[in-house]
Amino acid sequence: MKKVLLLAVPLLLALLAGLYQGAYACIGHWLYANATDLEASIYGFSEERVNIGDMELALYRNHNPGKPAIVMLHGFSADKDVWPRFAKHFVDDYQVIIPDLAGHGDTGFKPGWDYGMPAQAARVMALLDALDIGQAHIIGNSMGGFLTAVIALDYPQRTLSATMVDPAGTRFPQPSDMFRMLEQGINPFLIHNQAEFQRFYPMTMAQPPFLPNVVLAAVGNKYIARRDELQTIFAGFHSSPALDERLPELSVPAMLWWGDQDRLLHVSAVEVWQAGVPQLQTHIFAGIGHMPMVEIPARSARIYREFLQGL
């Protein structure tokens, strides 16, 4: 009997530990899925799905008919939830549209979709058509910054202004931490376990907003679950033609932001953009990483508002 009890105790402890981990994961995923939507609704955004023909795009939108439109585009592996704390500063004076791009967020992923920048740009235009919006200011981060520039270049008549935030899409005179990893055959976005996520997450921001550990663990689990999808999307958008040769064609009012502590895309690309677009307004944020609109939402929103009001 004593031997049976000795065997039963570790089994019971293992079962309890498993139940605890399962409950911990469930709480984290619930918070991750719902807290950001609740916060966005407090700021005046509704969740919607809009049919653009070949898919339905999920998005946040405030209803402000007759006001100028702003479209906010997230980066690779992110989603619309990176924007609301920045976007709340514009809900009174603008129509704000924040889509989950194809392959991301609530829009979802399909292996057959084209994840290149020209296809994603055409989808943003189809979204504006579906919402009966002729022209819009476009602002995008990282992959979304690359996409913002492609929209401004391919659809200048529909682009009131273009703001690129730590954008991909050009050469980088100096390699970032991410590019050094890619040269070694390691893509930091393709996460296999929580330890890898804990190394990756600090690369995304120098001053991240507070998130409980239970939520961070849920985010890490989502990266792990989506690894194959992210690999497909990464290959799609990295196959898009680079912007370097086209930058002189950028004719719409344009602004460039970069965090000088960006570990994913090195700030040295600023000189490439400035050489290609002499009229570009540029802001380099000291002590900030890859996502200024998340790290310093109020401060960056003031700069963006001043830019829009000066047009």
Domain boundaries, the chain: 33-309
Residues 6+ apart with CB under 8 A from 1: none
pLDDT of 21 > 60? The answer is no
- Say if residues 259 and 203 touch (Cβ distance below 8 Å): no
Both structure tokens of 308? 């829009």
User: Residue 175 gets which letter from DSSP?
Assistant: -
Closest listed residue to residue 100, CA positions, set 58, 69, 131: 58
pLDDT of 3 > 80? The answer is no
Q: Per-residue confidence at 32, pLDDT binned at 50, 70, 90?
A: low
Q: Per-residue confidence at 29, pLDDT binned at 50, 70, 90?
A: low
Helix orientation angle between 194-204 and 213-225, rounded to the nearest 10 degrees? 110
pLDDT of 308 > 70? The answer is yes
Model pLDDT, residue 19: 37
The model's pTM is 0.91
Mean pLDDT across 232-258: 96
Model pLDDT, residue 34: 76
- Say if residues 236 and 244 touch (Cβ distance below 8 Å): no
pLDDT of 222 > 60? The answer is yes
Q: How would you label 111-145 residue by residue, b for 16+ Cβ within 10 Å and e otherwise?
A: eebbbbbeebbbbbbbbbeebebeebbbbbbbbbb
Model pLDDT, residue 35: 79
Q: For the CA atoms of 210, 233, 47, 125, what is the dihedral angle to 10 degrees?
A: 130
Helix orientation angle between 227-238 and 213-225, rounded to the nearest 10 degrees? 70
Which superfamily does CATH assign the domain made up of 33-309 to? Alpha/Beta hydrolase fold, catalytic domain (3.40.50.1820)
Mean pLDDT across 273-289: 97
- Report helix, strand or coil for 102: coil
User: Residue 73 gets which letter from DSSP?
Assistant: E
Residues 6+ apart with CB under 8 A from 225: none
Please give the Cα distance from 311 to 68 (Å, whole number).
12
Closest listed residue to residue 167, CA positions, set 138, 128, 124: 138
